Structure 1
Amino acid sequence: MSFARRALAVVAAAATALALAGMPAQATDIPPPDTVVTSRNVTHVLNVPKPTPIAGTINTDIAFQGGYAFVGNYGGFSIYDIKNPKKTKVVSSVVCPGAQMDVSVYGDLLFGAVDASRSDDSCNSTSQSAAVKESWEGVRIFDISDKANPRYIKSVETNCGSHTLTVVPGKGPDKKRNVYVYVSSYSPSATFPDCQPPHDKISVIKVPLKNAAAAELAATPVVFPDGGNETQPGLLLPTSGCHDITVYAEKDIAAGACMGDGVLFDISDRLNPRITARTTDPNFAFWHSATFNNDATKVVFTDELGGGGAATCNETVGPNRGADAIFDIKRGQLVFKSYFKLPRHQDDTENCVAHNGSLIPVKGRDIMVQAWYMGGVSIWDFTDSARPREIGYFDRGPRSDGSGGGIWSAYYYNGYIYAADFNEGLDVVQIKDKLTDGAKHVRMDDLNVQTQESYGGGHRH
Structure 2
Amino acid sequence: MTKRPQRRGRRTGLALLGAAALTLTSASTGLALPGQGEATAENAAAATLEPGEISKSDNITYLANLPKPAVFEGEFGSDMAFQDDLAFVGNYNGFWVVDIADPADPEIITEVYCPGGQGDISVEGDLLFLAVDYARTDNTCESESSSTANPDAWEGVRVFDISDVRNPQYVAGVRTDCGSHTQTLVPSKNKKNIYVYVSSYSPSASNPNCQPPHDSISIIDVPVADPGAAAVVAKPNLFAEDGGGNPEGTGSRQTTGCHDITAYPNRNIAAGACMGDGIILDIKDPVNPKVVERVRDTENFAFWHSATFNQDATKVVFTDELGGGGAATCVDSVPDTKGANAIYDLDRRGNLSFQSYYKIPRTQSTTENCVAHNGSLIPVKGSDIMVQAWYQGGLSVHDFTDSANPEEFAHFERGPLEPAALGGAWSSYYYNGHIYSSDITEGLDVLRIDDPRTDPAAKVRMNTLNPQTQPRYVGNGN
* Shared fold per TM-score greater than 0.5: yes
**Which has more helix, going by share of residues?**
1
The residue correspondences of 1:221-236 to structure 2 (distance < 5 A) are: 221-225=236-240, 226=242, 227-235=244-252
- The CA deviation at 1:339 is 0.2
Shift of residue 456, structure 1, vs aligned partner: 4.0
Amino acid across the alignment from 1:194: N
Q: Does 1:218 align with 2:218?
A: no
Q: CA deviation at 1:262?
A: 0.3
Paired residue secondary structure (1:213) = helix
Is 1:260 aligned with 2:276?
A: yes
Q: Which residue of 2 is the match for residue 190 of structure 1?
A: 205
* Counterpart Cα distance in 2 of 1:406 and 1:99: 18
1:299 lines up with 2:316 in the alignment: yes
How far 1:29 moved relative to its partner? 6.2
Aligned to 1:206: 221
Q: Which runs of 5+ in 2 are unaligned?
A: 1-41
Alpha-carbon shift at residue 353 of structure 1 (Å): 1.0
From 36, 40, 51, the counterpart of 1:33:
51
Q: Is the 8 A contact 1:243 1:257 kept in 2?
A: yes
The answer to whether residue 64 in structure 2 is matched with residue 49 in structure 1 is no
* Whole-angstrom CA distance in 1 between matches of 2:339 and 2:316: 17
Q: Which SS does the other structure have where 1:380 is aligned? A: strand
Distance change (3 Å), C-alpha of 1:81 and 1:178: same
Pick the aligned partner of 2:260 from 218, 236, 244: 244
Specify the alignment match of 2:38 in structure 1: none
Equivalent-residue separation in structure 1 for 2:156 and 2:58 (angstroms): 43
Tell me the amino acid that sits aligned with residue 239 of structure 1: T
2:92 corresponds in structure 1 to 74
Which residue is 1:360 aligned to? 378
Describe the SS at the equivalent of 2:104.
Answer: helix
Which of the residues 113, 116, 120 maps onto 1:98? 116
Which shows bigger deviation, 47-56 or 27-36?
A: 27-36
Q: What code does the residue aligned with 2:251 have?
A: G
CA shift, 1:200, in A, is 0.6
Deviation (angstroms), 1:269: 1.1
For 1:341 and 1:198, locate their aligned partners in 2 and report how far apart those are by CA, in whole Å. Answer: 33
Residue type of the alignment partner of 1:200: D
* CA shift for structure 1 position 37: 1.1
Structure 1 CA distance for aligned equivalents of residues 357 and 363 of structure 2: 16
Q: CA deviation at 1:453?
A: 1.4
CA distance in 2, matches of 1:112, 1:155: 9
User: What are the within-5 Å matches in structure 2 for residues 375-394 of structure 1?
Assistant: 375-394=393-412
**Structure 1: distance between partners of 2:476 and 2:411:** 26
Amino acid at match of 2:261: I
Matches within 5 A, 1:114-125: 114-125=132-143
Instruction: Give distance in 1, aligned partners of 2:48 and 2:315.
Output: 33
Match of 1:289 in 2: 306
Q: 1:297 to 1:25 in 2, by over 3 A?
A: farther
1:55-94 residue CA offsets vs partner (Å, 9 max, x unmatched): 2211100000000000000010000000111110100100
CA apart distance, 1:27 = 3.1
SS in 2 for 1:87: coil
Task: Check conservation: 1:363, 1:456, Cα contact below 8 A.
Answer: no
2:447 to 415, 420, 429: 429
Asked if 2 retains the 8 angstrom alpha-carbon contact of 1:25 and 1:344, the reply is: no
5+ residue gaps in structure 1?
Answer: 1-23
More off after superposition, 50-59 vs 180-189: 50-59
Q: Distance in 2 between matches of 1:245 and 1:406?
A: 23
Q: Contact 1:378–1:392 at 8 Å: present in 2 too? A: yes
Shift of 1:126: 1.2
> What's the CA shift for 1:233?
3.1
More displaced stretch, 400-409 vs 192-201: 400-409
Q: Between the two proteins, what is the percent identity of the paired residues?
A: 58
Find the aligned partners of 2:427 and 2:257 in 1 and give their Cα distance: 22
Task: Measure, in 1, the Cα distance between the counterparts of 2:157 and 2:239.
Answer: 23
Q: Secondary structure at the match of 1:349?
A: coil
CA distance in 2, matches of 1:56, 1:25: 29
| Distance apart, 1:194 and its partner CA | 1.2
Query: Is contact 2:345–2:403 with CA below 8 Å preserved after alignment?
Result: yes
> Which residue of the partner structure matches residue 9 of structure 1?
none
Post-superposition Cα deviations, 1:285-304, rounded to whole Å, max 9, x if no partner, equal: 00000000000000000000
Q: How does 1:311-460 map to 2 (within 5 A)?
A: 311-330=328-347, 331-458=349-476
Q: Cα deviations across residues 107-157 of structure 1 (Å, max 9, x unaligned)?
A: 000000001111111111111111110000000000111111111110000
SS at match of 1:176: coil
Structure 1 residues 395 and 413, CA gap change in structure 2 (3 angstroms): same
Could you list the per-position Cα deviations for residues 147-190 of structure 1 after superposition, in whole angstroms to 9, with x for gaps in the alignment? 1111111000000000000000113xxx2311100000001111
CA apart distance, 1:232: 4.2
TM-score, normalised to structure 2's length?
0.89
Asked if 1:141 corresponds to 2:159, the answer is: yes
SS of aligned partner of 1:250: helix
* TM-aligned CA deviation for residue 28 of structure 1: 4.1
Ranked by relative contact order (alpha carbons within 8 Å, sequence separation 6 or more), the top structure is 2
Q: Deviations over 1:231-270 (max 9, x none)?
A: 34333x3101100000011111000000000000001111
Aligned residues, how many? 433
